[in-house]
Amino acid sequence: MFPIFQCNQCEFRAADNGTLKKHIRVKHDKIRDHICQHCGYGSSSAKQLESHIEKKHINPKRRKLKPIPIVGMRLKTDWVPPPKPRKPAGGATPSSAAAAAMGLTIRR
């Protein structure tokens, strides 16, 4: 059986001491030793920093759309579909209006 290393600040357990030390640095000591050179964002791992730079600085438009808590509303950065075209007043549709302009009659 593998020795189990228990965190003395929470219920976390690790199979090796290195994993436990990393857990304590990240979760309890809040050490962020990987800093973004563009905005100062701090991360506990190089992989997280790479992901941050990709999402926020290199290709910010690839992020997923996130609805805000208000039902039916979205963030300003979200894509909103264009409004549907309205039918002209009087019940005429674009095709029947064009036909009437040419002197044609449409049978239905």
Is residue 24 a part of any domain in this protein?
yes
Are both 18 and 39 inside the same structural domain? no
Residue-level pLDDT, tens digit, the chain, 108 residues: 567 899 999 999 999 999 999 999 989 998 888 999 888 999 988 999 999 988 888 876 665 545 445 555 444 555 556 677 776 666 555 566 666 666 666 665
Against a cut of 0.85, is the pTM above it? no
Tell me if 91 is assigned to some domain.
Answer: no
CATH of the domain at 21: 3.30.160
d(CA 9, CA 30): 13
Q: What is the pLDDT of residue 56?
A: 86
Pair (26, 36) in one structural domain: no
Does residue 51 lie in a domain region? yes
Number of domains in the chain: 2
Residue ranges making up the domain that contains 21: 1-31
